[in-house]
Every structure is written in structure tokens, then in C-alpha cells.
């Protein structure tokens, strides 16, 4: 009888050991080492950070005299007024965001005079942001099969909390987006009015393009972020201002005023390409007057990103 008892005990020890090992997840693990069938965790998406701000500068030549060398086909002030209207229309196509800024200045014989700024630097206002609720914490993976039921319950609770959190975040984001859109719309409306109401006074004394670039460079330096500059001029500098501003990787678009005889503009464009690179700007894009449309200007300004 004692011998039979010993045999049963000897047989029982491996079985107990197997049960213990199974409880620890050794015999119960699947091929990839997962203790429990993997439940699906509800994905959560935190708001992504937006791009940096953009400062747009507009320089419009009011020293264009309309003489025979230039364009009697466009009597004063048709060219600068068309430039203002082009910019006003382009503004609504730029996908402005809160934090973006706009300024405008005349090119004259004394362009770096502060009185030549017809549109002071104005920023799209930033709306108040609501703090987001803390995201739920994912449950820790189970260590063995004995914890599987508890883990599954925790996953269900987490998924419910994650759905609720995501709904709240989406609602906050939508309210913020609506407020931003309203702020941008109001800004565009006011700025368009200011552009269209600007009144260029003809300046026959000369054209100081470098002075205008110095104004733009100063504004850009004081406002970090992406810088984009639009000039409307035939790009004939007659003053020879020695100032050489730092345009710091600015994107440049030039709407070339129409000339009845544009034969000398080709070399001028090449010279200005070199000049802009020397000043630290990107290679400029020159648009013939007929191609200087609101859609094209907006396309070029948006094309280089934020």
C-alpha cells in the first residue's frame, strides 16, 4: 500500500509542475510569445502641430513714370493699382493661418523712408486655445495567462475611455478650427480693403529698389519664420542706393510691369537673379505682366511651403 502511494506521488509531481509552468505562461504562450490572444486597443490621435508662421511682404513701384521707354499703353496709375488689386485677390488664396503676417510698402526714389509703408505689418490674430484633456493610459500587458481575464477587462475600459477622449479632442479641435477660420476671414477682408484703398502718388524722381528691399529685409529679420516677398516693378533701379539688405532665404516673386519695348529686360532679369542670391534670397521667379494673375501669384507663394 505504501509503495502504491509513493508511485502516485511521483506521478503527481510532473503534473503539478506543468500546471505551475502553464500558469506562468510557458506552456500557454503562442508562437510569438504573446500570453493572451491580443485584444485590439482603440487608436488615439493627438493633434499635430501646425507649421511655422509666414510673413508676406509686398513692394509696389510708384516711381514708374510711364515714359516712352516704359509703357504709354498703361497710363498712370493703372499698373500700381492693378498690382494692389492683384494682391488683394491673391490674399484669399494663400491659405493664411493665425500667426501669419502681411505688410506692404511703395518703391519710390526714397523707398527706405518709413512713410512709404502703406500697409503696416499686420498679423492674423491667434485665437485662444483650450487645454486638451489628458489621454488615457494603455493597460500593461499581462505577465501570464492568469491575468488574461483582468487584462481583457482593462482593455475594454481603456477603449471606452479612448473613444470618449477622442470625441472630446475632436470637438475642441473643431471649435478651434472654426475660430481660426473666422479670424482669417476677418483679417483678409480688412487687409483687402486696405490694399484696394491704397492710393499711389506718382514719383518721377527715381526708383530705389534696394531701399525697398531694405525695408522688407528689416521686417523679415524682426519676424522669424518663413518669408515671402512679392515685387511689382519693371526692376529698373535708378537711384543706386548702396544698402544691401539680408533677405535670409526669402522666396521672391516679381511681377514685371509691362513695357512696350521689353528688349532690355532679359539681361536685367539675369542681373537681378544674381543680386537676389547675393542678398541671401532664393532665386526669384519673374512673371511677365500678362501672366501676373492672382492665381499665379498665390500658386507661387504657396508652392514653396510654409
Task: Please report the domains of the chain, with CATH numbers, ordered by start residue.
Answer: 54-128+177-303 (3.40.50.410)
Cα distances (angstroms) measured from residue 145 to each of 55, 61, 115, 187, 288: 59, 78, 78, 61, 74
Closest CA to 121 of 181, 187, 185, 186: 187
CA distance 276 to 244: 10
Q: What is the pLDDT of residues 258-296, one digit of tens each?
A: 877 666 667 688 899 999 999 999 999 999 999 999 999
Q: What is the pLDDT of residues 35-47, one digit of tens each?
A: 676 678 888 787 7
- The pLDDT of residue 10 is above 60: no
CA distance 112 to 169: 48
- The pLDDT of residue 78 is above 70: yes
Output 37 or 237, whichever has higher pLDDT. Answer: 237
Output the pLDDT for position 169.
Answer: 92
pLDDT band at 49, cuts 50/70/90? low
Q: Is 260 helix (H, G, I), strand (E, B) or coil?
A: coil
Output 14 or 88, whichever has higher pLDDT. Answer: 88
Output the pLDDT for position 179.
Answer: 95
6-15: long-range contacts, CB 8 A cutoff, minimum separation 24: none
CB neighbour class for 3 (10 Å; exposed up to 12, middle 13-18, buried from 19): exposed
CA distance 249 to 279: 9
Residues 6+ apart with CB under 8 A from 201: 62
- The pLDDT of residue 205 is above 50: yes
Reported pTM: 0.81
Q: Count the Cβ atoms, other than its own, within 10 Å of residue 217.
A: 25
Output the pLDDT for position 258.
Answer: 82
The string of DSSP codes covering 95-148 is ---TT-EEEEEEE-TTTTSGGGEEEEEEEPPPPP-PPPPPPPPPPPPPSSGGGH
Amino acid at each position: 500500500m505504501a509503495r502504491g502511494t509513493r508511485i502516485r506521488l511521483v506521478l503527481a509531481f510532473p503534473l503539478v509542475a506543468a500546471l505551475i509552468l502553464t500558469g506562468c505562461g510557458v506552456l500557454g504562450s503562442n508562437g510569438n510569445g504573446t500570453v493572451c490572444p491580443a485584444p485590439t486597443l482603440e487608436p488615439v490621435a493627438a493633434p499635430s502641430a501646425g507649421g511655422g508662421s509666414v510673413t508676406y511682404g509686398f513692394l509696389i513701384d510708384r516711381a514708374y513714370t510711364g515714359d516712352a521707354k516704359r509703357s504709354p499703353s498703361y497710363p498712370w496709375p493703372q499698373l500700381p493699382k492693378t498690382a494692389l488689386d492683384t494682391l488683394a485677390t491673391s490674399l484669399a488664396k494663400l491659405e493664411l493661418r493665425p500667426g501669419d503676417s502681411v505688410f506692404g510698402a511703395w518703391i519710390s526714389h526714397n523707398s527706405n523712408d518709413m512713410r512709404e509703408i502703406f500697409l503696416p505689418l499686420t498679423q492674423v490674430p491667434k485665437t485662444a486655445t483650450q487645454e486638451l484633456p489628458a489621454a488615457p493610459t494603455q493597460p500593461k500587458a499581462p505577465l501570464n495567462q492568469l491575468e488574461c481575464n483582468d487584462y481583457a477587462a482593462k482593455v475594454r475600459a481603456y477603449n471606452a475611455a479612448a473613444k470618449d477622449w477622442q470625441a472630446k479632442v475632436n470637438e475642441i479641435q473643431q471649435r478651434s478650427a472654426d475660430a481660426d477660420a473666422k479670424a482669417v476671414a476677418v483679417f483678409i477682408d480688412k487687409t483687402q480693403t486696405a490694399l484696394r484703398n491704397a492710393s499711389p502718388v506718382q514719383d518721377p524722381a527715381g526708383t530705389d529698389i534696394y531701399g525697398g528691399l531694405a525695408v522688407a529685409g528689416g521686417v523679415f529679420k524682426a519676424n522669424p519664420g518663413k518669408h515671402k516677398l512679392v515685387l511689382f516693378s519693371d526692376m529698373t533701379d535708378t537711384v543706386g542706393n548702396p544698402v544691401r539688405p539680408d533677405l535670409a532665404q526669402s522666396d521672391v516673386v516679381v511681377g514685371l510691369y509691362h513695357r512696350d519695348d521689353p528688349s532690355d529686360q532679359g539681361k536685367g532679369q539675369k542681373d537681378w537673379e544674381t543680386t537676389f542670391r547675393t542678398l541671401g534670397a532664393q532665386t526669384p521667379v519673374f512673371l511677365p505682366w500678362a501672366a501676373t494673375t492672382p492665381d499665379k501669384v498665390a500658386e507661387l507663394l504657396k508652392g514653396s511651403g510654409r
